[in-house]
Amino acid sequence: MSRAVHYDAQEAYSPLGRLRIQPRCHQRCRKSQLQYELIIFCKPRQNLPRVADKPPNQGSIYAPAQLSVVGEEDGFLGAGRNYGSLGKRHHRAIFNLQSMSGQDPIEQRQTNHAKANNGIATYCRRLSCGPEEPRGVDFVGDVIQRLQPPPFGRSKGIVPESVPNGIFNDNSGGGCKHVARKQYGERLELSPSGLDDSESEASQSRRRPMETGERDQAAATRLKRNRTALMDKYDASSRRVVARYCNSQRTGVSIEALRIKLTPNWRSSWKDPRTLMAQQSSAQARLTLHDAFERFGATVTPDDKRDFANTGLKDVRDEAIRIERQLRARRTQKNMARLEPFLRGMEHYSKAVEVLCNGTPYLSWIWAPVKLMLMVSASLLLHSPSGAKGWNQRTFADSRSPDNHGLTRCV
């Protein structure tokens, strides 16, 4: 599972993280007061975003040779972003960076799940406006911190220097931020306390640029905090690695990067991003199920729907046996044994797919139509007389004897 780690203006050197964008010069965004975020998820080290050696206040994204992206500072990114040698047009210019953007909360949720489950670095353009923020974010490792209220439409009030425990009374801009914090803050891997004052710092630095000494100090404090959090998280054997890693980075420590470090065989588990791209998450599997179900359900009449919901695999088997018996009585022996592997396969399959179908009527719909189909075609074969309509009747208008073996129901 990928985890995102907080990344903001003061954590410009975080090897992996979130980049927040204030689309200042974006006209459309200004109108609707949207706030964009750049979230970068990353599993394999090759894709690990790293910041180039650049002073943190230049507002550029640089991509060094080893395909790392990222690094944005001061949070003032608009449409004119610099990607260094990888092009300037769009995030897609960055190799190995998947770009996703959900247009509504449902899509947003799906993209959240998808990006958290595949291992590629992901750029997620996230809509965060209105009081429902965080929209669709319900994944444990997801980024839910909203660092800074939008710069527009915000009163010029005094931003508190340090915010105690994530409660930030700012009703003018990002009013829902503290709700998010309350709800999700404790699920974050890093202690959110480190994120709080960085937030105020971020908004502060928007007004006046921080002096270098101040910035370094803030970064050092944060680094210390992060390190403590990580130390608590990992056991003693890993601490050495953690410490070394923390020291090697100037600011900010990514848990994900650390996890990679602590996993000895990360290299063998690395997969080609293109295959990862094709990889589907469980959420997407559910989506596939849902789509198939809806598609089929649209053609089925309500009566049949009810039947389908109440049909078990045993019913199908019983029906098949019954039909076989009837056919045998009529000396039209069919190869009904052919159905047996199908039913057995269904049995196994249903056990496997049960997990995905939990709490949904999907499961019985795999085999219920079989019963229906068998009944219909067998009733044609046995030319049921009752209420057969359309082609049933016509097809068998000239067929054999009029008796039917108690096939009471013409389906």
Query: Where do contacts with other proteins occur on this chain (CB under 8 A)?
Result: 117, 279-282, 284-289, 291-293, 295-296, 299-301, 304, 332, 334-336, 338-349, 351-353, 355-356, 362, 365-366, 369-370, 372-374, 376-378, 380-381, 390-391, 394-396
Residue 10 to residue 7: CA distance in whole angstroms: 8
* Shortest distance in whole angstroms from residue 388 CB to other proteins: 11
Tokens for 174? 């990002």
* Shortest distance in whole angstroms from residue 332 CB to other proteins: 7
* Shortest distance in whole angstroms from residue 265 CB to other proteins: 17
Q: Which lies closer to other proteins via its Cβ, residue 178 or residue 371?
A: 371
Q: Which lies closer to other proteins via its Cβ, residue 131 or residue 341?
A: 341
Give the type of residue at 146.
Answer: R
Q: Which lies closer to other proteins via its Cβ, residue 127 or residue 374?
A: 374
* Shortest distance in whole angstroms from residue 255 CB to other proteins: 21
* Shortest distance in whole angstroms from residue 356 CB to other proteins: 6
Q: Is there a contact between 38 and 277 (Cβ–Cβ < 8 Å)?
A: no
Residue 247 to residue 135: CA distance in whole angstroms: 36
Structure-token match 């309350």, residue found: 182
Q: Which lies closer to other proteins via its Cβ, residue 245 or residue 367?
A: 367
Structure-token match 């907080």, residue found: 6
Q: Which lies closer to other proteins via its Cβ, residue 199 or residue 307?
A: 307
Q: Which lies closer to other proteins via its Cβ, residue 207 or residue 389?
A: 389
Tokens for 44? 């394999």
Burial 7-42 (b: 16+ CB within 10 A, else e): bbbbbbbbbbbbbbbbbeebeebbeeebbbbbbbbb
DSSP 133: P
Residue 118 to residue 330: CA distance in whole angstroms: 57
* Shortest distance in whole angstroms from residue 142 CB to other proteins: 17
* Shortest distance in whole angstroms from residue 110 CB to other proteins: 14
Residue 193 to residue 198: CA distance in whole angstroms: 9
Residue 43 to residues 119, 182, 239, 271, 400: CA-CA distances in angstroms?
5, 28, 21, 10, 69
Tokens for 377? 């075609």
Q: Which lies closer to other proteins via its Cβ, residue 140 or residue 285?
A: 285
Q: Other CB atoms closer than 10 Å to residue 279's CB: what's the count?
A: 15
Q: Which lies closer to other proteins via its Cβ, residue 240 or residue 295?
A: 295
Q: Among residues 20, 5, 15, 50, which one has the least CA distance to residue 206? A: 20
In the beta sheet, which residues pair with residue 41?
A: 122
* Shortest distance in whole angstroms from residue 268 CB to other proteins: 17
* Shortest distance in whole angstroms from residue 408 CB to other proteins: 19
* Shortest distance in whole angstroms from residue 60 CB to other proteins: 35
The CA-CA-CA angle for residues 352, 354, 358, to 5°, reads 155
* Shortest distance in whole angstroms from residue 102 CB to other proteins: 19
Residue 43 to residue 50: CA distance in whole angstroms: 13
Q: Which lies closer to other proteins via its Cβ, residue 248 or residue 335?
A: 335
Q: Which lies closer to other proteins via its Cβ, residue 67 or residue 346?
A: 346
Give the type of residue at 62.
Answer: Y
Residues, the chain: 411
Q: Is there a contact between 20 and 148 (Cβ–Cβ < 8 Å)?
A: yes
Residue 89 to residues 78, 84, 117, 162, 227: CA-CA distances in angstroms?
12, 11, 27, 37, 36
Residue 63 to residue 69: CA distance in whole angstroms: 5
Q: Which lies closer to other proteins via its Cβ, residue 88 or residue 394?
A: 394
